[in-house]
Amino acid sequence: MDARLQSAFAALIGEQHVLRAPQDTAPYTTDWRKQFSASAECVLRPASTAEVAALVGLCAREGVAVVPQGGNTGLCGGSVPTGTRREVVLSLSRLNRIRSIDALNDTLTAEAGCVLAQVQQAAEAAGRLFALSLAAEGSCQIGGNLSTNAGGVNVLRYGNAREQVLGLEVVLPDGRVWNGLRALRKDNTGYDLKQLFLGAEGTLGVITAAVLRLHPKPTARATAWIGLRSPADAVQLLARLHERLGARISAFELVSRRCLDAVLAHDTTMRDPLARSYDWYVLAQFADSLTQDALRTQVELALGEFSEAEDTALASSEAQSLALWRIRESIPEAQFTNVKHDVSVPVSKVPELIARAEAALQAQFPGAPLYAFGHIGDGNIHLNVGDAALLARREQVNRTVYGIVGALGGSISAEHGIGQMKREDIRRHKDALELELMRAVKRALDPQDLMNPGKVL
């Protein structure tokens, strides 16, 4: 980076917040899974929307690409540079204020750099619930969550990140600021512009703040670990529990025995929740405004009615509930290096997806284990294949899995986004007209292709 531009950046945000030394920039230029890494001219750490706007405007005038970054916990290489052109990383971590909470309107306005757990805690302090919850919530940031339309464990009841947003503040590619921070549930005055930026992975602008939707805080929760014969039984059990308990089901997570074994081997302090081994399990969370005893009784009665639930461990304390969720959240770490897939199909097609993927992968890669787990309640299953040795054949594995997903009417990216990892794949699996429309939007908002280039499109 030339001295003139460095001085201009420093004049806007202070020399100490323009990082150039390799030891300082390294955490920002390599993704969480260490599969994508490239250098950037510098890392910029603004502290306000005005500073973000000034930096983005300067980059637009200088023809320098901007890579917006939150907690850098993404899994598809969307938050790090590509190294193919002049790029700066724009870290939003210093935009970390909760601007306001309106408990009567059930809204919270947070800046993009707020860690997800911080937002959850602010809602909790106001007697409310912010429903977005995922394994990385202690380090991921809300701006990144919204930019990737994160899912998590509560989608079944509350929806994706997209459904948690009422309004946005966005710095556009030319440095102008769109103030769409409206706390309205009804606003029928034209295009819903915020939806353009939710899930766009920073390719259309930089989300700097959001009005988030809050919910009444449940007074009772029940957590159950359920042994099952098959994914088909899990789907059937979900349908029956929906009929019996309705919206009280907030999470319904599928876990294979292979995944559980990997977790128990990875962390020997954990214990198998059931005395007998089953091929499949579901971790279910229930919540309501009942008393704890009343909810627990309803859950016990419901699970006792249905033959699909072979065996159940129902948490009797918050500590036991956390221990069960710790198993689920440890699955990615327990098989960290392999070929990973984040796909979705209609809920009814999940058993067929798993069966067909297992058969096809075994035929092509004999002995390669399939780790199947995830959010069966909304059809989002993570299919992780093999070990590090199979990474060299990632493209072949992907083509097999994605072909099955496409045949079942599914999506090759359910909640992790596209980033760099799936950029070429969507060209094979996305409708040509959809891609044309996406490119038209990109050209209209970012004609210089300066916002997170090399991602999504």
Domains and CATH numbers, the chain: 3-91 (3.30.43.10), 98-216 (3.30.465.10), 220-261+272-333 (3.30.70.2190), 342-438 (3.30.70.2740)
Residue 241, both tokens: 């529990």
pLDDT digits (tens, 9 = 90+) for 355-407: 999 999 999 999 999 999 999 999 999 999 999 999 999 999 999 999 999 99
| Residue pair 251/153 in contact by the 8 Å Cβ criterion | yes
Per-residue pLDDT at 448 exceeds 80:
yes
pLDDT digits (tens, 9 = 90+) for 303-359: 999 989 889 999 999 999 999 999 999 999 898 889 999 999 999 999 999 999 999
Task: Please tell me the predicted confidence (pLDDT) of residue 243.
Answer: 94
Task: Please tell me the predicted confidence (pLDDT) of residue 423.
Answer: 93
Average pLDDT, the chain: 95
Task: Please tell me the predicted confidence (pLDDT) of residue 267.
Answer: 95
Q: Is the pTM of this model over 0.75?
A: yes
Task: Please tell me the predicted confidence (pLDDT) of residue 176.
Answer: 98
